[in-house]
Amino acid sequence: MSQNTEWKLRTPPQTEVWVDEDVLAMRAPLVRVHRDDEGTWLFDGPGQPPRPASATHLSAVVGAWPHVGALTELDSGDSVVWSWERHGWTGEFECRCGSCVQPVAADLDRSTWPSELHPERLASVENTALAGQVTLTDIVATPGGLALLGPGSQRRTSEEMAPVALANVIRRWPHTMQALRAVRDGYGMRWNPDALNWNEYMTA
């Protein structure tokens, strides 16, 4: 897994963190982040923690899952979950009135799936980005379909790419949903690690 070039979090990049083994194996989306009272970071998939986890570095997590880079204000003792409806992180909290709707760390919610995206449509994804070895940086609409790429030239061989259904692309990278909705033929969307958003550019 690669390290982001721009570091936003207050915790040093080489800090040891714990990641749900299903998330590390790409079997589940990263949808919950918790920091215990000592400040240790824990990254989970759907379901109730604790879950089997393995240690890695915080820089590796941010490189593989760039949406984690937005958690600049997450303090010790705090937790957030990914909201598929809001397309962003939302804080977990203790309900004192008994009528609050608690955020839940859940898998992709098809009820909030945008109508203009077909979940079974295949996109071509660079293998090294899919595996977390490099950061996903570009989403490109080509004549042959959508391509999701890491840094560098946009020329790839077929051996370097893998077909992945859009539903699984978004499970792998929750922050891509809005960019996939917005990308147009002849254009690309590039991840901006400074602003933590996608910027459109012309490819032709």
The pLDDT value recorded for residue 111 is 81
Please check whether residue 47 lies inside any domain of the structure.
yes
Please check whether residue 66 lies inside any domain of the structure.
yes
Taking the C-alpha atoms of 124, 130, 133 and 137 in order, what is their torsion angle to the nearest 10 degrees? 60
Looking at the fold, whether 129 and 100 belong to one and the same domain comes out as no
Looking at the fold, whether 102 and 129 belong to one and the same domain comes out as no
Looking at the fold, whether 57 and 130 belong to one and the same domain comes out as no
Q: Which of 149, 129, 146 is nearest to 190 (CA)?
A: 149
Q: Domain tally for the chain?
A: 2
The pLDDT value recorded for residue 85 is 87
Looking at the fold, whether 96 and 130 belong to one and the same domain comes out as no
Please check whether residue 171 lies inside any domain of the structure.
yes
The pLDDT value recorded for residue 98 is 63
Please check whether residue 130 lies inside any domain of the structure.
yes
Token pair of 5, please? 């070039």
Please check whether residue 114 lies inside any domain of the structure.
no
Spell out the per-residue pLDDT of the chain, length 204, in tens. 444 457 889 999 999 999 999 999 989 999 999 999 999 999 999 988 888 999 999 999 999 999 999 999 999 999 999 999 888 999 976 656 666 667 788 998 778 788 889 999 999 999 999 999 999 999 999 888 999 999 998 899 999 999 999 999 999 999 999 999 999 999 999 999 888 999 999 997
Q: How far is CA 26 from the centre of its chain?
A: 11
Looking at the fold, whether 36 and 72 belong to one and the same domain comes out as yes
Looking at the fold, whether 132 and 157 belong to one and the same domain comes out as yes
Looking at the fold, whether 136 and 82 belong to one and the same domain comes out as no
The pLDDT value recorded for residue 1 is 44
Looking at the fold, whether 93 and 152 belong to one and the same domain comes out as no
The pLDDT value recorded for residue 4 is 42
Looking at the fold, whether 101 and 160 belong to one and the same domain comes out as no
Domain closes at, from 76, 107, 138: 107
Tell me the residue range of the domain where 102 lies: 16-107
Adjacency order of strands within the sheet including 79-83? 53-57, 16-20, 41-44, 32-35, 79-83, 88-91
